[in-house]
């Protein structure tokens, strides 16, 4: 059974280039002109009268047609007779035993072409249209990827012109024959980071093997060799190790998880992941109808859909409580770095009654300085999502605990376990509950945590913000008070 653990959007460094070029295209001659050319090809140098009599033209009609052919450099005068030019003769082809004219004309064109900078491949429209996402993790490329860009663009465009026409512009290259005649000018325009969505998953029969896949099938076809995965691995390879026993103890104390305690092995001082995943796959790991096991991040495919559907059903009954508090795990290098995080957040907050002052999403993020707050604000407050942010020095439930709380409605708790892998991807396991006693217990624990000295800070607040207007007083405390 496949289990999606995380979704990450990586920012692929890309540059747009303005390319001015010339193409040669097949040109179909009008019927009369083509047959005049074919007659002259058969008989050679001929008097004008032969053409006039053959086609039954008047003298004026004949001269009009011949003048056009002379202007197009297809015929010429020679000793008061007409004959084909060398250009015309060169463009006859033998087709099924007949010699037929095949003429070309050159046409100037301009296009904006996007190249990703790792291997200087053109981006198909399906990738270009995905837009910019501030949650994306930038891919680290070698310095030489940013040198001699105009020369690289010219060479790549020349070598991949048919690919450009077919995949990027969507043209029918078989019925619309066209060849690149020359590249007139290349000019770099602007840099852009294209989000590349990726999923990380495991199979229940091999929980230690972390697998990677593009979420978009178009990317599979474009990056067949999966060369970008190497850069992605480098971007998230700063893995930190922690004390699993301490993490588990802190997590259980904070969340009262009734499921994970059944899978803790005191002898090995670890969670029996193999057994947990086996029970998860066969549906026997749940605690009760209202409290069930979760595996994978909350914004993963399965979890996000299940949470959204259940909450939609609950809010249709118009509960008194409103608002949410999301306490993230300590290492934010991969947590929430996908547009799907915002999608889940929006799907929940859209259910709130906006007439209530508590109808707000609050993210409590580990933060130790104003500069760190500025960087985190860029990621978690953008054009797609607009939660309130509050910083904390000491994380609730330990460094690897994550909690999503809707007071009196739902609580979801995750412990992020390490995977035997160099990449900073965890195995989130925990529970989601709609049981009042668990929701109340976790709410009380969060209130005690927040009331402790030096737990929360104001690094996310604007300078000179009045106390009553801070996130702590305006939203965080008010949402918790509902419980």
pLDDT at 131: 58
Q: pLDDT tens for residues 409-433?
A: 999 999 999 888 888 899 999 999 9
pTM to 2 decimals?
0.82
- Over range 108-128, report the average pLDDT: 90
Task: Report the 10 Å Cβ neighbour count for 143.
Answer: 6
Q: What is the pLDDT of residue 331?
A: 63
pLDDT at 262: 95
What the block records as the tokens of 67 is: 């003048």
* Pairwise CA distance, residues 141 & 231, whole Å: 7
Query: Distance between alpha carbon 173 and the CA centroid of its chain, in Å?
Result: 28
Backbone CA torsion sign across 380, 408, 399, 392: positive
Q: Which two tokens stand for residue 129?
A: 């249209």
Taking the domains of the chain in order of start, what are their residue ranges?
Answer: 29-100, 244-481
CA-wise closest residue to 449 among 314, 255, 231, 196 = 255
Give the mean pLDDT of 348-353: 96
Instruction: Note the residue count of the chain.
Output: 483
According to the model, what pLDDT value does residue 90 have?
A: 82
Q: Are 363 and 390 in contact (CB under 8 A)?
A: yes
| Residue 103 pLDDT | 73
Cα 362-363-366 angle, rounded to 5 deg: 145
- In the prediction, which pLDDT does 330 show? 61
Give residue-wise pLDDT tens across range 171-201.
888 877 788 989 999 999 999 989 999 999 9
- Strands 2-27 and 75-78 come out as unpaired
Domain covering 29-100 assigned CATH 1.10.10.10 in the classification: yes
Q: What is the pLDDT of residue 474?
A: 96
All residues at 6 or more sequence positions from 225 whose CB lies less than 8 Å from its CB, including other chains: none
- In whole angstroms, how far apart are CA 336 and each of 83, 105, 106, 156? 74, 54, 51, 35
- CA 205 – CA 37 distance, rounded (Å): 73
Confidence of residue 385 (pLDDT cuts 50, 70, 90): confident
- Which pLDDT belongs to residue 101? 81
Highest mean pLDDT among 59-73, 84-98, 117-131, 257-271: 257-271
Output DSSP code: residue 460: T
pLDDT band at 350 (very low <50, low <70, confident <90, very high): very high
Report the pLDDT averaged over residues 259-283.
94
Domain 244-481 part of CATH 3.30.870:
yes
Strands 291-295 and 270-271: unpaired
């Amino acid at each position: 059974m496949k289990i999606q653990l995380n979704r990450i959007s990586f920012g692929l460094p890309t540059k747009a280039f303005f390319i001015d070029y010339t193409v040669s295209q097949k040109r179909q001659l009008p019927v009369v002109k083509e047959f005049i050319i074919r007659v002259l090809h058969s008989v050679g140098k001929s008097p004008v009268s032969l053409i006039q009599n053959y086609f039954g033209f008047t003298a004026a009609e004949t001269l009009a047609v011949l003048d056009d052919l002379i202007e197009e450099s297809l015929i010429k005068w020679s000793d008061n007779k007409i004959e084909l030019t060398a250009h015309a003769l060169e463009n006859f082809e033998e087709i099924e035993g007949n010699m037929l004219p095949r003429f070309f004309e050159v046409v100037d064109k301009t296009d904006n072409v996007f190249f990703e900078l790792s291997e200087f491949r053109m981006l198909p429209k399906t990738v270009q249209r995905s837009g910019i996402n501030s949650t994306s993790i930038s891919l680290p490329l070698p310095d030489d990827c940013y040198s001699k860009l105009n020369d690289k663009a010219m060479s790549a465009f020349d070598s991949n012109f048919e690919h450009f026409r077919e995949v990027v512009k969507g043209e029918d290259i078989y019925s619309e024959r066209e060849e690149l005649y020359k590249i007139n000018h290349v000019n770099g325009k602007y840099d852009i980071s294209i989000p590349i969505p990726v999923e990380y998953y495991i199979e229940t029969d091999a929980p230690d093997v972390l697998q990677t896949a593009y979420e978009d099938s178009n990317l599979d076809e474009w990056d067949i060799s999966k060369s970008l995965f190497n850069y992605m691995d480098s971007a998230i390879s700063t893995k930190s190790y922690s004390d699993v026993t301490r993490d588990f103890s802190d997590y259980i104390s904070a969340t009262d998880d009734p499921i994970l305690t059944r899978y803790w092995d005191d002898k090995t001082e670890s969670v029996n992941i193999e057994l947990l995943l086996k029970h998860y796959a066969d549906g026997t790991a749940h605690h009760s109808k209202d409290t069930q096991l979760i595996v994978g991040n909350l914004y993963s495919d399965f979890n996000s859909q299940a949470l959204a559907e259940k909450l939609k059903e609950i809010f249709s009954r118009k509960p008194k409580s409103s608002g949410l508090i999301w306490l993230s795990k300590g290492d934010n290098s991969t947590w929430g770095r996908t547009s799907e995080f915002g999608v889940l957040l929006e799907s929940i907050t859209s259910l709130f009654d906006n007439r209530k002052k508590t109808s707000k999403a609050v993210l409590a993020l580990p933060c130790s300085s104003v500069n760190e707050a500025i960087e985190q604000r860029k990621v978690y407050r953008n054009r797609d999502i607009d939660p309130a942010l509050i910083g904390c020095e000491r994380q609730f439930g330990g460094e690897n605990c994550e909690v999503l709380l809707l007071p009196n409605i739902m609580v979801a708790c995750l412990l992020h376990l390490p995977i035997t892998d160099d990449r900073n991807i965890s195995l989130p396991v925990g529970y989601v509950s709609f049981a009042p006693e668990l929701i109340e217990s976790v709410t009380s624990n969060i209130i005690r945590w927040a009331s402790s000295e030096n737990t929360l800070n104001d690094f996310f607040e604007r300078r000179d913000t009045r106390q009553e207007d801070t996130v702590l007083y305006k939203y965080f405390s008010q949402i918790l008070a509902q419980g």
